[in-house]
Chains A and B, each alone.
Chain A
Amino acid sequence: MAHADSAHSAPAILQEVKPAVLPRATLVENNRSFAWITEKICSIIEGKTPTWWWVCFIVACFVASFTVAGITYLVATGVGVWGHANPVNWAWDIVNFVFWIGIGHAGTLISAILCLLRQKWRTSINRAAEAMTIFAVVCAAIFPVFHVGRVWYAWYLFPIPNSNVIWQNFRSPLEWDVFAVSTYGTVSVLFWYVGLIPDLAVLRDRFYAAGNKLRSFLYGLFALGWRGSNRHWSNYEMAYLILAGVSTPLVLSVHTIVSFDFAVSLLPGWHTTIFPPYFVAGAIFSGFGMVLTLMLPLRAIYKLEDLITQYHIDCMCKITLATGTIVGYAYAMEFFIAWYGANPYEGFAFINRAFGHYAWAYWIMIACNVITPQFFWFKKVRQNTAFVWILSIFVNVGMWFERFVIIVTSLARDFLPSSWGYYSPSIVEIFTFFGTFGVFSVLFLLFIRFLPIMPMAELKAVTPQADVHAGHDHH
């Protein structure tokens, strides 16, 4: 270039820097058409109910009956049927509550945060992940609601004028939690439903064309007259973006406020400022564990490999790895601060966690949450679906133990040795918790039977043929 020759002392500067062309991962494999996507998703609903579905459904109903039995016994008898006793008056109920709420968080992360970050790979998993969120919140809500004892007074949690003319104590993190969790549940349902509307319209018209007037009417009732108008899409997309925008601070605030239930107290082991970010990371970690647990079997059963590709699994594994590592860092930092803070009670609480009566729980937690995700560094592991699925189960188990370790070990060994104790769950608690997996499965099975498990409109929008500028400049 003449420019560079004339002033050879000046450093060589390129006239123009072209942005590097990064290869984009294919989100829908095998170049599938729009019609193929519609057919694939709708056929799951339109086809005959498979036998495996009935088998799973009956088993899930049986498991769910344990929760019904446990709760019925509790309501008929009193909260004393749970194993709570001084000093551990808060145990499996809150452990299970935090566990289920945390699982829900991945659904919102996928639908909201990844939407804002324009991570298009979210499209094939977001519907099922959002359904998981809602059902997880349902399971979570069971525990605090029934822990109030006289459940028919549970409405006292909300500021409704009552005959005692007193109001809720808004200085308490538990009251904040009421608002956080009920807002979270409501917004998750709204977000999920708004996403479903265009797909319900597809089913409405397909059932109508097939001559099934009843199902066409039912889907049509919830499709609200959606007709795919672009003037509607314009408002719809804006509304969806705003919902994603508000769900992002919502999901972060919900687990932050859940962590305040502990962090705002004065108990050693709970009273730490690291809790909000640590709980949020843990929630996303456990939620992605559950997403993998649910999506991998679905992918295999319904042959969805073209829609949930290896790239999707890689992404989910990497997020699990990242959040799991953050959780591991938080465990280490808690120990460091306990030592650095020079508070003997705090120091004891952590030594006791790792080497006290509940050490078995602590080391299960470390093994599942810190060591398990490290396997996801390896591509070979991420490509082995069965192995990924097994690891995802370990993540779920580990995160349940994390909550158990935080809550129970801190309460069982507080300030004075005279008030120390050892907590074991009662059979009623075990039944109630075991049954929630049935409740969750029943709801999830109904979801995959009657609603489109993937957002068809969004999937179509990420295919190459949806790009109207194909082969041209993006302007």
Chain B
Amino acid sequence: MSAQSYGLIATFDTAAGLYQAAQQVRDAGFKHWDCITPFPVHGLDKAMGVKRSIVPRFSLAGGITGFITGMSLIWWTGAVDYPLIVGGKPYFSPMFAFPVAYELTILFTAFATIGGMFFLNGLPKHYHAVLKHDQIVRGMDDQFFIVIESRDPRFNATNTRALLEKAGGTDIKELEA
């Protein structure tokens, strides 16, 4: 290979086949590897040993920020910057501020959730070795891939290939970085 190697990619024809193979790769102790699937395969996280997503932490932070933003916006504009009596109502009350604070809670949560998801996934990404795979169009359609990266300390071109073969992978190829 002239170009640097990114790792090995193996093809699986069924979700169940991928699921079994993922368990074997996990048990072999690999850390830098991934499954490429056209849809979220139920239970695959456990088979891969992927921990529960931490996206909710971003959501919570966004929600709290949104609520505080809403309340303080209404308090500051109505009671501090330009106090104005309207309809004999108080300058500020959490009661009438609530609907706006509620909406901003949701708005900020949504942005934080999506931003957090992109951040954790490292997206948007202009280039990735997996997308150079000549069969990637099938990986978006009806096939499943396992990719083991060569930077994994346990990676060994011969043994890793043997592991993928044993796990039922076909069409095992080397990916260029």
Contact = CB atoms under 8 A, between A and B. Distances in A.
Interface of A: 33-35, 38, 159, 165-171, 173, 175-176, 179-180, 183, 186-187, 190-191, 194, 198, 201-202, 205-206, 208-209, 224-239, 242-243, 246-247, 249-250, 253, 257, 260, 456-458, 460-461, 465-470
B42 A187 contact: no
Nearest to B107: A183
A35 B139 contact: no
A33 B140 contact: no
B41 A167 contact: no
Interface in B105-161: 106-107, 109-111, 113-114, 116-118, 120-121, 123-128, 130-131, 136-137, 139-142
B39 A460 contact: yes
A73 B14 CA distance: 61
A167 B75 CA distance: 11
B34 A229 contact: yes
B38 A468 contact: no
B38 A34 contact: yes
Interface in B60-117: 63, 73-74, 77-78, 81-82, 84, 86-87, 89, 96-97, 99-100, 102-104, 106-107, 109-111, 113-114, 116-117
Given A159-B73, A468-B16, A470-B16, A209 B39 contact: no
B172 interface: no
Contacts of B165: none
27 contacts: A35-B142, A168-B77, A170-B97, A171-B87, A173-B99, A180-B99, A187-B110, A205-B136, A205-B137, A225-B123, A227-B139, A228-B38, A230-B45, A231-B48, A233-B44, A234-B45, A234-B50, A235-B53, A235-B121, A238-B53, A239-B113, A243-B113, A246-B106, A253-B102, A460-B38, A468-B19, A468-B44
B59 interface: yes
Contacts of B29: none
Contacts of B44: 230, 233, 468
Contacts of A208: 137
B22 to A, nearest CB: 8
A224 B37 contact: no
B121 A232 contact: yes
Contact of A457 (B39, B74, B107, B131): B39
A173 B136 CA distance: 52
Interface string B20-35: 0000000000000011
Q: Which 7 A-B pairs have the closest CB atoms?
A: A225-B125, A34-B142, A224-B124, A238-B53, A239-B117, A167-B77, A468-B19
Interface residues of B, number: 69
A250 B106 contact: yes
B14 A465 contact: yes
Contacts of B139: 227-228
Given A225-B126, A468-B19, A468-B44, 15 more contacts: A35-B142, A175-B100, A202-B140, A227-B139, A228-B36, A230-B35, A230-B40, A232-B123, A239-B55, A239-B113, A246-B113, A247-B110, A253-B103, A461-B41, A468-B41
A225 B19 contact: no
Contacts of A165: 82
A232 B45 CA distance: 10
Nearest to B111: A190
A246 B109 contact: yes
- A interface, over-half SS: helix
Contacts of B45: 230, 234
A190 B99 contact: no
Contacts of B117: 194, 235-236, 238-239
B115 to A, nearest CB: 10
A261 B100 CA distance: 14
Contacts of A249: 102, 106
* Interface core residue of B104, B111, B124 (most chain A CB under 10 Å): B124
B141 A224 contact: no
Nearest to B92: A170
A467 B18 CA distance: 11
Contacts of B113: 239, 242-243, 246
B144 to A, nearest CB: 9
A209 B19 CA distance: 27
Given A168-B77, A202-B140, A226-B123, A235 B89 contact: no
A90 to B, nearest CB: 19
B109 A225 contact: no
B38 A225 contact: no
Given A237-B40, A468-B15, A34 B141 contact: yes
A248 to B, nearest CB: 10
A249 B102 CA distance: 9
Given A230-B50, A235-B53, A468-B43, A186 B37 contact: no
Contact of B81 (A167, A175, A225, A230): A167
A253 B120 CA distance: 30
Contact of A170 (B35, B74, B136, B137): B74
Nearest to A467: B42
B99 A257 contact: yes
